[in-house]
Chain A
Amino acid sequence: MTPAPTPETAEVGAPPPPPSKKPAPTIDSKGPQRFKALFTWLAFIVVIVVCGIRVDADFVQLFSKNSMDNVGRIMNDLIRPDWSYTGRILPAMIETVQIAIAGTVIGSVLAVPVALLCAVNVMPKKIVTIPARIVLNLVRTIPDLLFAAVFVAVFGIGAFAGMLALVFFSFGLVAKLTYEAIEAIDPGPLEAMTASGANKIQLIVFGVIPQALPYFFSYVLYTFEVNVRAAAVLGFVGAGGIGLHLDQQLNSLRYDRASTIILLTLVIVLVIDYASTYLRRKLL
Chain B
Amino acid sequence: MNQSVPSSSRLPLIRNWIVGILLIVLFGWSLSAMKFEGIQEYGAQVMASIWEGFTHPDWDYVYLPEGEDLLRGLLETLIISILGTFISAFLCIPFAFWASSNMSRFQAVSGSGKFVLTVIRVFPEIIMAILFIVAVGPGAFAGVLALGVHSIGMLAKLYSETIEAVDNGPREALISSGASKLQVLRFAVLPQVIPQFISYALYRFEINIRSATVLGLVGAGGIGVPLLFALSSRNWSRVGIILLGVVILVTIIDLISGWLRRRII
* A residues neighboring B (CB under 8 Å): 1-3, 13, 15-16, 47-48, 51-52, 54-58, 61-62, 67-68, 70-71, 74, 94-95, 97-99, 101-102, 105, 137-138, 141-143, 145-146, 149-150, 152-156, 158-160, 163, 229, 232-233, 236-237, 246, 250, 262, 265-266, 269-270, 273
Q: How far is the CB of A244 from chain B (nearest CB, A)?
A: 13
Q: How far is the CB of B166 from chain A (nearest CB, A)?
A: 13
| Chain A residue nearest to B40 in the complex (CB) | A156
Given the known inter-chain contacts A15-B194, A70-B135, please indicate yes or no for A98 contacting B34, CB distance below 8 A.
Answer: yes
Q: How far is the CB of B239 from chain A (nearest CB, A)?
A: 7
Contact indicator B124/A233 (Cβ below 8 Å):
yes
Given the known inter-chain contacts A146-B213, A149-B227, A149-B228, please indicate yes or no for A138 contacting B247, CB distance below 8 A.
Answer: yes
- In the docked arrangement, what's the CA distance between A246 and B126, Å? 11
Q: How many A-B residue pairs have CB under 8 A?
A: 161
Contact indicator A2/B183 (Cβ below 8 Å):
yes
By a CB distance below 8 angstroms, the chain A residues around B174 are 2
Contact indicator B191/A55 (Cβ below 8 Å):
no
Contact indicator A48/B83 (Cβ below 8 Å):
yes
Query: Of B26, B143, B254, which one neighbours A101 at CB under 8 angstroms?
Result: B26
Query: Of A150, A154, A159, which one neighbours B46 at CB under 8 angstroms?
Result: A154
Query: Of B122, B217, B234, which one neighbours A273 at CB under 8 angstroms?
Result: B122
Task: Please report which residues of chain B, range 211-255, place their CB below 8 angstroms from some CB of chain A when the two chains form the complex.
Answer: 211, 213-214, 217-218, 221, 224, 227-228, 231-232, 234, 239, 243, 246-247, 250-251, 254
Contact indicator B191/A15 (Cβ below 8 Å):
yes
Given the known inter-chain contacts A55-B144, A146-B243, please indicate yes or no for A154 contacting B39, CB distance below 8 A.
Answer: yes
By a CB distance below 8 angstroms, the chain B residues around A51 are 79, 82-83
By a CB distance below 8 angstroms, the chain A residues around B194 are 13, 15
Contact indicator B83/A55 (Cβ below 8 Å):
yes
The 4 closest A-B pairs by CB, nearest first: A15-B191, A55-B140, A98-B30, A145-B214
Given the known inter-chain contacts A146-B213, A158-B37, A250-B130, please indicate yes or no for A137 contacting B135, CB distance below 8 A.
Answer: no
Given the known inter-chain contacts A16-B191, A102-B27, A233-B126, please indicate yes or no for A160 contacting B35, CB distance below 8 A.
Answer: yes
**Residue of A2, A61, A156 most packed against chain B (CB within 10 A):** A2
Given the known inter-chain contacts A101-B27, A150-B239, A159-B35, please indicate yes or no for A236 contacting B250, CB distance below 8 A.
Answer: no
B161 interface residue (CB < 8 Å to A): no
- In the docked arrangement, what's the CA distance between A154 and B139, Å? 28
Contact indicator B217/A236 (Cβ below 8 Å):
yes
Could you show 30 A-B contacts with beta carbons less than 8 Å apart? A1-B178, A2-B183, A48-B83, A51-B82, A54-B75, A55-B76, A55-B80, A55-B141, A55-B143, A55-B144, A57-B144, A61-B136, A62-B145, A67-B135, A68-B135, A105-B23, A138-B247, A141-B254, A142-B243, A143-B211, A146-B214, A150-B231, A150-B239, A153-B234, A155-B36, A155-B37, A156-B37, A159-B35, A160-B35, A266-B119
| Chain B residue nearest to A228 in the complex (CB) | B122
Contact indicator A149/B86 (Cβ below 8 Å):
no
Q: How far is the CB of A61 from chain B (nearest CB, A)?
A: 6
B123 interface residue (CB < 8 Å to A): yes
Q: How far is the CB of B68 from chain A (nearest CB, A)?
A: 15
Contact indicator B187/A16 (Cβ below 8 Å):
yes
- In the docked arrangement, what's the CA distance between A172 and B155, Å? 23
Given the known inter-chain contacts A55-B140, A141-B250, A142-B247, please indicate yes or no for A160 contacting B191, CB distance below 8 A.
Answer: no
Q: How far is the CB of A167 from chain B (nearest CB, A)?
A: 10
Given the known inter-chain contacts A141-B246, A266-B122, please indicate yes or no for A98 contacting B141, CB distance below 8 A.
Answer: no
